[in-house]
Amino acid sequence: MNASQGNFSATAAFIWSVADLLRGDFKQSQYGRIILPFTLLRRLECVLEPTKEAVLAQDTVVKEMPEEAARKLLLHAAGQPFYNTSQMDLGKLGQNQVLENLESYIHSFSPDAREIFDYFSFTEFLVQLNEANLLYRVAGKFAGMDLHPQVLSNHDMGLVFEELIRRFAESSNETAGEHFTPRDIVRLTTSLTFCGDDDALSKPGVVRSIYDPTAGTGGFLSSGMEYLHEINEGARLATFGQELNKESYAICKADMLIKGQEVSNIKQGNTLSDDQLPTNTFDYMLSNPPFGVEWKKVQKAVVDEHKQKGFGGRFGPGLPRVSDGSLLFLMHLISKMRRPDEGGSRIGIILNGSPLFTGGAGSGESEIRRYILENDLLEAIIALPTDMFYNTGIATYVWALSNHKPEERKGKVQLINATDSFEKMRKSLGSKRKYLTEEQIEDIVRLYGNFEESETSKIFNSTDFGYRRITVERPLKLALYPKDDLKREALAADKAWLKLDESLQQDILKALDAIDDEKLLSRSKFDKQLKANLEGVKLPATVLKLLHKHLGEQDEEAEVCKAKGKPEPSSDLRDYENVPLSESIDDYFQREVLPHVPDAWIDESKKDDRDGQVGIVGYEIPFNRHFYKYVPPRSLEEIDADLDKVSAEILELLQEVHS
């Protein structure tokens, strides 16, 4: 079968038709685990075909040489970043010992290529194919496919492989969302990240780097390459990534190998606990980290790095709660930014709503937002429609970050509400019921690029999202009830009271009985009378506090309680106010608090750790508040009419039942 260049969809469909042979013997979700590695195998042998004889000749020469030296000579002979030293190919397996011959053939690849087949668990599926008497037929089907570079360029072969990955993801929806970001979302995020750099990217011979720390099957890396290819066919994008899931890693690495990338740049492992590209920085970074997934398994490594390295590591600003690690990935990406004097970096990351507002002033989440906004890294946040992903229908947002903002964006943040930009899918794929058309993607990117205010685009100063949380205290005014039965019962049930010596308990109760008043509006007067009635029995301060706790209650008519000559605050009346950073806390307090509670004051001991000023600095981005539209409630007449209609329908149904 010959494939015309650019006709990748038809080629992919032809390759996927191998599934017809697998039906009945394999589950639908297993098709990709057979078709993808076979496609890779056929492409690799087509790429290596022109130099195969040279490699075989070189292999006889290097037999006795050290492994590394032999590897370099074989790579040179192959003229590719991989080689194979077997005389076999898919068309020469024979009809006997097909499994042994194929296993030997795969084992003869250079380590980077061979590893991919290991991660696919390809040998296990070859055994199953052999047992089902399908191995020879499947291998023969792939042997007949023309996947030579002259027929399909690396770029087009990559598109074929991507299409196969998409089909695989759709055929196994239970795992697709974890490892595969929908194509429309990938395209939007990539376009936003590359937007504004078109002039630089169109120069001849330009080389840029792209990185995804949650690479999945490599969708973002492929999309970046495709975007650059559209602008400048002569440009080169070096791809880097890391992926935890072994099968996704294998697919990603295979895709990069097919596209002629340096596959040693694709790493396998947990990015948060084991960053395998620790010294690298990148031009572009894209990521769709898992939503709302806890990071308990890597907690020790992350906390240790935070404490030991501080801002010299990846997690200096703070740590989010353990239930959601998405902000850890964002900090990881920020740590990979190139310095602005080296050209800087741009980041596109997809997050759920939680990172916008979770955590009050001083929390890990707030401190991360503070770091991003005070260092002027955030360019824009785009709200996406719900139901855009395979495994969740929740609200999601694309964050666009840069450390080399254009002049007009400096100190500014753009919020774009794209929640109404979607088309409904004819058939749902898991939780994905909506998608973005090419035109809608272009409209959103244009909104971002124009950087203008509109109904769906709002522009703010970075400081507009900051506030100081001040602690507002009010005086403790206790009325004491020494003889109240209910309050005494609560006192008697307190563990601290039960630990007291019984004779002391009796002395205290007698002293309380001896107080004349049922209610005292002065704590100091209560204390004096109680001590006088105890007649020399020493009363510990902790016991006195216990009596205040159970026998007293806040009463505005009571005298202000004082400690060391100053009003004592009531913990029950303590409140907090968030004062915008643009406003003086004193002016705010005079205007918003004192008219309602004239005896309140600000606790000036509560100061921010960073700037030392009164009030703890916090940051949140209340996205929905800025796009809220008031919808007036329905009239009572309209509601009554609906109720009457429903009541009539119910009565009609009941009559049918009884008749």
Report the alpha-carbon distance of residue 640 to residue 634 in Å, rounded: 10
pLDDT of 174 higher than 60: no
Q: Pick from 243, 189, 215: which is nearest to 388 by CA?
A: 189
Distance in Å from the first CA to the final CA of the chain? 70
pTM of the model: 0.83
Query: Which pLDDT band, with edges at 50, 70 and 90, does 180 fall under?
Result: low
Q: Could you tell me which residues come within 8 angstroms of residue 542 by beta carbon, excluding any fewer than 6 positions away?
A: 496
pLDDT of residue 173: 54
pLDDT of residue 654: 84
pLDDT of residue 431: 80
pLDDT of 162 higher than 90: no
Query: Which pLDDT band, with edges at 50, 70 and 90, does 94 fall under?
Result: confident
Average pLDDT over residues 339-348: 94
Lowest mean pLDDT among 189-198, 348-357, 550-559, 560-569: 189-198
The structural domains of the chain, with segments of one domain joined by +, span 1-171, 183-452, 478-567
Share of the chain above pLDDT 90, in %: 67
CA angle 104, 107, 113 (to 5 degrees): 145
Average pLDDT over residues 292-305: 92
pLDDT of residue 5: 38
pLDDT of residue 330: 97
Indicate the pairing of strand 412-417 with strand 457-461. Answer: antiparallel
SS (H, E, C) 414-471: EEEECCCCCEEEEEEECCEEEECCHHHHHHHHHHHHHCCCCCCEEEEEHHHHEEEEEE
Q: Pick from 574, 534, 545: which is nearest to 478 by CA?
A: 545
pLDDT of residue 4: 40
Whether 433 and 393 have beta carbons less than 8 Å apart is answered as: yes
pLDDT of residue 259: 82
Whether 310 and 359 have beta carbons less than 8 Å apart is answered as: no
Query: Which pLDDT band, with edges at 50, 70 and 90, does 283 fall under?
Result: very high
pLDDT of 176 higher than 60: no
pLDDT of residue 177: 44
pLDDT of residue 552: 95
> What is the chain's alpha carbon radius of gyration, rounded to the nearest angstrom?
35
HSE, side-chain direction, 13 A CA sphere, residue 638: 4
pLDDT of residue 226: 85
Give 5 or 167, the one with higher predicted confidence: 167
pLDDT of residue 656: 78
Report the alpha-carbon distance of residue 375 to residue 168 in Å, rounded: 42
- Model confidence pLDDT, tens digit, residues 219-264: 889 888 888 888 888 888 899 999 998 888 888 888 888 888 888 8
- Amino acid 15 reads I
- Model confidence pLDDT, tens digit, residues 1-15: 444 434 677 888 899
Q: Residue 504 corresponds to which tokens in the numbers above?
A: 């002391």
- Model confidence pLDDT, tens digit, residues 363-414: 999 999 999 999 999 999 999 999 888 777 888 999 999 999 999 999 999 9
DSSP 8-state class, residue 569: B
Report the alpha-carbon distance of residue 100 to residue 517 in Å, rounded: 100
Average pLDDT over residues 20-38: 89
Q: Pick from 218, 274, 222: which is nearest to 249 by CA?
A: 218
CA angle 236, 237, 239 (to 5 degrees): 145
Q: Which of the listed ranges 54-63, 78-87, 330-339 does the model predict with the highest average pLDDT?
A: 330-339
* 167 CA to centre of own chain: 25
Report the alpha-carbon distance of residue 356 to residue 360 in Å, rounded: 11
Helix (H) or strand (E) holding 407: none
- Amino acid 590 reads Q
Q: Residue 38 corresponds to which tokens in the numbers above?
A: 């076979």
Whether 379 and 451 have beta carbons less than 8 Å apart is answered as: no
pLDDT of 175 higher than 50: no
What fold characterizes domain 183-452? Rossmann fold (3.40.50)
Q: How many CB atoms lie within 10 A of CB 615?
A: 25
Q: Could you tell me which residues come within 8 angstroms of residue 172 by beta carbon, excluding any fewer than 6 positions away?
A: 28, 29, 32
Q: Pick from 376, 331, 323: which is nearest to 354 by CA?
A: 323
pLDDT of residue 659: 63
Average pLDDT over residues 496-507: 93
pLDDT of 553 higher than 60: yes
Share of the chain above pLDDT 70, in %: 97
- Model confidence pLDDT, tens digit, residues 637-646: 888 888 989 9
For the chain, the average pLDDT equals 90
pLDDT of residue 427: 83
Q: How many CB atoms lie within 10 A of CB 629?
A: 5
pLDDT of 614 higher than 90: yes
